[in-house]
Amino acid sequence: MNKETKLRIHNITAKAAFKFGSETWVLKKREEQRFEAAQMKFLRHLLGITKPDKEKNQCIGGKAGAQNIVKEIKQYQEKWLQHAQRMDTNRVPKQALQYKPKGRRNIGRPRKRWRDKLHLEDQGTGNTPNPSGT
């Protein structure tokens, strides 16, 4: 099987498996590193490059013509957010996005939420997402 066919199979199967359910994930640095490592392992095998060859990941990605999987997941999340904001207010995903729980939180540092992560990513670009859709 040639490299183009293997790369197409990777794009169809492996990337789809990586992105499955990723619409609402909060990726931590360690998880991002693991996704990138899994993608690089496949691309190295595809191109026949071994670790002792000491090729940089950017070079391998460029040779294979593959986009970083973490960037694709983040784009997928932004696309889903825009889709959820366009939904009618009676749809469950839109209600879940707008939900504000009542009561008190547990003691300690709050867990990272998907909404908070989107807000932090867009602060650097100057765009302010409006997850509530208002």
Mean pLDDT by 10 residues, the chain (134 residues): 82 84 84 91 87 85 84 88 90 86 84 69 54 49
Q: Give residue 134's pLDDT.
A: 46
18 within some domain:
yes
Residue 93 lies in a domain: no
The answer to whether residue 109 is domain-embedded is no
Q: Which helix (H) or strand (E) holds 47?
A: helix 29-47
Tell me if 89 is assigned to some domain: no
- What's the total number of domains in the chain? 1
Inside any domain, residue 10: yes
Residue 131: inside a domain, yes or no? no
Residue 118 included in any domain: no
Q: Give the C-alpha separation, 127 to 115, whole Å.
A: 14
Residue 40: give the domain boundaries. Answer: 3-70
Quick one: pLDDT at residue 87? 92
pLDDT confidence of residue 130: 55
Residue 58 falls inside a structural domain: yes
Measured torsion, CA atoms of residues 114, 80, 118, 65, in degrees rounded to the nearest 10:
110
Question: How many CB atoms are closer than 10 A to CB 61?
Answer: 17
Residue among 44, 46, 41, 39 at smallest CA distance from 4:
46
Give phi and psi for 97, each to the nearest 5. -70, -35
